[in-house]
Structure 1
Amino acid sequence: MNLNNIFKRHLQQGRFFDKGKRVVVAVSTGVDSMVLLSLLQRLPETVRPQIVVAHVNHQLRKQSKEEEQFIRHYCSTHHLRLVVYQWAIAEHPTTGIEEAARKIRYHFFNRVMKQEQASVLITAHHKNDLAETMLMKLTRGGQLHQLIGMKEQRDFVDGKLVRPLLDFTKQQLREYAISNHLKWYEDETNYELTVSRNRFRHRIIPLLEAENPNLLDSLSSYHEQLELAVELEDQFAKEQLQRIKDKQGHVNLKQLLQFSLAKERLILLKWLEWSGATNLKQGFIEQLLADINNRHLPQFNRQITPKLILFKNYSELFLKNVNQLPQKAQTSLNSVVKLGRWYPIGNDYQIAVALTKQFFGKTVDYQEMWLAPEQLPLRIRRWQSQDRLPLKNGGHQKISRVLIDQKVPLSERDQQLVIADAKNNIVWAVGRKWGWFTRPDDYLDQWQRLVIGIRDLKRRKE
């Protein structure tokens, strides 16, 4: 069976795209992409898609201009729609040129798909590319799903990217090109051994093939097995997360720690990945697991990504976007308390100090306090590490201990406010605990009575 028929059958089995649908085909003018384009063109009308060719002139080599002219002539001759992007030399970075070029290409392909109203991008990656990628991933280390290397189909922006040549070797494609008299261009940079992929292609893989002539088929088989293994891992992790998460999306720590360490790692990783934290370093993951399993570390928070923070709070794990954290404006609150004025405590509460309880009405919780003249004025501010509450027995308690005893999450501790007197004694750890001041016998004549209240804005809305 010739390659055209094998390709046709493979497309029908893989269901890569529907017949007659518009697809964008990435064509570099190398042998792989020219063979892909030819195979698509030669499909029977019953299965052939509408082809839009996308070509990027990177202007990195002398022959780039010639390659662009070639593909323009080819598409004109074969009545194919062509869209070309020229990457201006002035926009080339001084370092990281390969990664920058890759980003430019895929950004362009995405734009062409939207412009042409196509939902499928087709690239010419083949079995050798798959082997190179798998071995490179294996060498660098990482997570199991990364070892898959490339998928035949994956999501790409609002559509999908398909690689229908992953079952075919470079040799098969080259033989097809020669027998069908196709013209293509060789990229000389593909032989530069300073590039990691080229070293795998020209040195490492030939050595491995000398040990096992069926290396490419073996790696392709592992690829299929890995895809199934990762699929089963995903299914297991999803089922367990549904069982140990609450309605807020918080993970029950006690239930998570009942799993073996390997399963715990898997569930944690999947939870983080599905929340947007991908490509985490192995060392970071292991340290995170150690901290989660550390009973002497009941609370902590870790920056997972620039936008995502993980919190361990005694019996649960949860994630917060940095935009969900309390506003910094509140932490700078440090002002003399004015009577009859409401002060915000986060988004849900307000506090005020007044001379009479009538100021608060019936819906506000309040506390009556008698203070000596030298204790005034009061000040509201964020708590400090040296802050202590005076106790009835004459002792003191650190505010930090109050927060620990009441199991206040770390994410809320930095925002804790206190009301302090003129001597910096703590009158109230707001919403947590009151201070005690021993009154003299004549306090009614000498001291000032104040009423401190807190109101729940959520309750007011209801």
Structure 2
Amino acid sequence: MTRAGNPGSGSDWPEVLCAPVSNLPSHSRLRIALSGGMDSVLLLHIAARLYADAGWLSAVHVNHQLQTNAVHTEGFCRQLCERLGVPLDVRRVSVEGSGNAGRDAGGGIEEAARNARYRVFEQILTPGELLLMAHHGDDQAETVLFRLLRGTGVAGLGGMPSLRPLGNGLLYRPLLDFSREELQVWAMEKGIDWVDDPSNTDQRFDRNFLRQSIIPVLKTRWPSLVSRMAYTARACREHDELAGKLAELRFRQCANDQGALDVDALVELGTTEQKNLLHWWIRHHHHKPPTISNWPQVLADLLSAQPDREPELRGAGFAIRRYQRHLYLVPEQAPLPSGKPVLVPGQRQLWGQWRLTLTAAGNGETPAPEIRISTRAGGERLRPTPNGPSKSLKNWLQEKNIPPWERSRLPLLVEVTDGKEEVVGAGDLWLSGKYSGQAPASGWRIDVERECN
């Protein structure tokens, strides 16, 4: 534990430090991310002074169970919150790769711990809740420099935003305009205690190497390094915001009613605008754009392929696929259930992103039919119009312009009677009159619902 001096009364905090914590975005409840380090402890003291009596302030401590002092730090946070009258939510997590103590190239244990921490925050935040994190100007400079050395674009050089959505709530960083030195001076003056993380001195980790060995040297040459880096980050965020606005305009020009991008409209744009639009499109669907060294070649493959080709761009949790002169962003889907389940009257059957229910539509005297759910196996036929000719399911789906990846997951509703099978439904595209309408001929109705992506 680091002891700063004699504890202060808590009634004479500098207004310049209290102002950003006093003027917060609209919220119904307030949480403080409490690590036990100097910056988060300082933030908790300020918030407790301003809001403890309001009844909607609490703190959350994530114990990664990685450091030798993890138990001590958790105990310190509990005692601190009890003394300040702030409820504390402690969450213990297991971090993947915690046995790897080597250098964190590509992320490693530090990245895994961060991901575990943010998953906790996403899980606990409810609508209207605001989570305060104590990142300061030195953290911002470190983030920008780290991303620059690792390789990034304008969005990455924008550093950490002061406000962003997180789970069902919002994350806010009120201390980004202060340097670590400024915060530590105030902490020392107020006699605040905190716990030092022993891993912060381990220079096998890239961020620690920057923090301990590089940034101090840069500050001796450029004393205003933190403010300079903050200016760069703000400028990059502004440019990224403008790029996003432009991409949104282009999306409106290039997208159809289903949100797919028209290839012919895309080829009218320059390569830079095409890349910018795809980046925005991917982020808009809450995915991370993939790191690609040769975007011009990827774009050429997507936009210039022959009509019989089906090129795609894969990313984490999604793929961009081309079909009939349009690009579709297709989220990764969980495997479909195995077997061919039978619809049970009155019970909703889950099938991928589909919800299917068989209910009685008459007086209940007609025995329930046997309706099985399956996917295409080949050779299926259906009769889309009453008394009309039957059609090959394969050809019918092609006529409907259903993309191939949707055809393979489409739930087919098959009526089984005396060992004979008849397709009576295909997802929400078609349902036989025997099981639809105001008075289904069978006396039973099938309801089909599809979740939106």
1:69 aligns with 2:75: yes
| CA deviation vs aligned residue, 1:29-77 (integer Å, no higher than 9, x gap) | 211111111222333889x784212223334333333333333222222
1:99 aligns with 2:115: no
User: 1:270-309 residue pairs with structure 2 within 5 A?
Assistant: 270-283=280-293, 285-294=295-304, 299-305=309-315, 308-309=318-319
| CA deviation vs aligned residue, 1:158-200 (integer Å, no higher than 9, x gap) | 0011111111110011111111111112112101110010011
Q: Which residue of 1 aligns with 2:388?
A: 363
Q: Which residue of 2 aligns with 1:171?
A: 181
Q: Which residue of the other structure, out of 128, 139, 148, is the alignment partner of 1:138?
A: 148
| CA deviation vs aligned residue, 1:102-128 (integer Å, no higher than 9, x gap) | 3333344445545xx871111111111
Instruction: Report the alpha carbon displacement of residue 410 of structure 1 after superposing the two structures with TM.
Output: 8.3
Q: Structure 2 counterpart of 1:236, which letter?
A: L
Q: Which residue of 1 aligns with 2:38?
A: 31
SS of residue paired to 1:243: helix
Given that residues 288 and 316 in structure 2 are in contact (C-alpha distance below 8 angstroms), is that contact kept between their aligned partners in structure 1? Answer: no
Instruction: Report the alpha carbon displacement of residue 311 of structure 1 after superposing the two structures with TM.
Output: 2.6
Q: Structure 2 counterpart of 1:363, which letter?
A: G
Q: Which residue of the other structure, out of 9, 17, 25, is the alignment partner of 1:16?
A: 25
Given that residues 134 and 149 in structure 1 are in contact (C-alpha distance below 8 angstroms), is that contact kept between their aligned partners in structure 2? Answer: yes
Given that residues 52 and 82 in structure 1 are in contact (C-alpha distance below 8 angstroms), is that contact kept between their aligned partners in structure 2? Answer: yes
Given that residues 26 and 123 in structure 1 are in contact (C-alpha distance below 8 angstroms), is that contact kept between their aligned partners in structure 2? Answer: yes
Q: Structure 2 counterpart of 1:62, which letter?
A: T
Given that residues 23 and 120 in structure 1 are in contact (C-alpha distance below 8 angstroms), is that contact kept between their aligned partners in structure 2? Answer: yes
Change (3 A) 1:248 1:8: same
User: 1:162-241 residue pairs with structure 2 within 5 A?
Assistant: 162-241=172-251
Q: Which residue of the other structure, out of 42, 53, 70, is the alignment partner of 2:49?
A: 42
SS of residue paired to 1:121: strand
Change (3 A) 1:256 1:298: farther
| CA deviation vs aligned residue, 1:378-409 (integer Å, no higher than 9, x gap) | xx9999xxxxxxxxxxxxxxxxxxx9xx9x99
CA distance in 2, matches of 1:142, 1:58: 28
Given that residues 300 and 410 in structure 1 are in contact (C-alpha distance below 8 angstroms), is that contact kept between their aligned partners in structure 2? Answer: no
Instruction: Report the alpha carbon displacement of residue 229 of structure 1 after superposing the two structures with TM.
Output: 1.4
1:344 aligns with 2:380: yes
CA distance in 1, matches of 2:39, 2:15: 18
SS of residue paired to 2:85: coil
Higher CA-based Rg = 1
Change (3 A) 1:277 1:61: closer
Change (3 A) 1:162 1:250: same
Instruction: Report the alpha carbon displacement of residue 262 of structure 1 after superposing the two structures with TM.
Output: 0.8
5+ residue gaps, structure 2, are 1-11, 101-107, 339-373, 409-424, 438-453
5+ residue gaps, structure 1, are 334-342, 352-359, 367-379, 384-402, 416-454
Q: Structure 1 counterpart of 2:380, which letter?
A: P
CA distance in 1, matches of 2:57, 2:37: 18
> What is the root-mean-square deviation of aligned Cα atoms in Å?
4.0
| CA deviation vs aligned residue, 1:135-162 (integer Å, no higher than 9, x gap) | 1111122332122121111111100111
Q: Structure 2 counterpart of 1:282, which letter?
A: I
Q: Which residue of the other structure, out of 390, 397, 404, is the alignment partner of 1:411?
A: 404
CA distance in 2, matches of 1:106, 1:250: 31
Given that residues 301 and 411 in structure 1 are in contact (C-alpha distance below 8 angstroms), is that contact kept between their aligned partners in structure 2? Answer: no
Change (3 A) 1:118 1:250: closer
Change (3 A) 1:194 1:34: same
CA distance in 2, matches of 1:6, 1:275: 39
Given that residues 301 and 309 in structure 1 are in contact (C-alpha distance below 8 angstroms), is that contact kept between their aligned partners in structure 2? Answer: no
CA distance in 2, matches of 1:45, 1:65: 26
Q: Which residue of 2 aligns with 1:355?
A: none
CA distance in 2, matches of 1:460, 1:87: 51
TM-score (normalised: structure 2) = 0.67
Larger deviation: 51-60 or 232-241?
A: 51-60
Change (3 A) 1:275 1:54: closer
Q: Structure 2 counterpart of 1:248, which letter?
A: Q
Larger deviation: 228-237 or 274-283?
A: 274-283
1:60 aligns with 2:66: yes
CA distance in 1, matches of 2:198, 2:336: 55
SS of residue paired to 1:320: strand
Q: Which residue of 2 aligns with 1:254?
A: 264
Change (3 A) 1:268 1:87: closer
Aligned length: 360
Instruction: Report the alpha carbon displacement of residue 324 of structure 1 after superposing the two structures with TM.
Output: 11
Q: Structure 2 counterpart of 1:42, which letter?
A: R
Instruction: Report the alpha carbon displacement of residue 221 of structure 1 after superposing the two structures with TM.
Output: 1.0
CA distance in 2, matches of 1:238, 1:381: 37
Q: Which residue of 2 aligns with 1:397?
A: none
CA distance in 2, matches of 1:88, 1:271: 33
Change (3 A) 1:40 1:350: same
> Among the aligned pairs, what percent are the same residue?
24
Q: Which residue of 2 aligns with 1:311?
A: 321
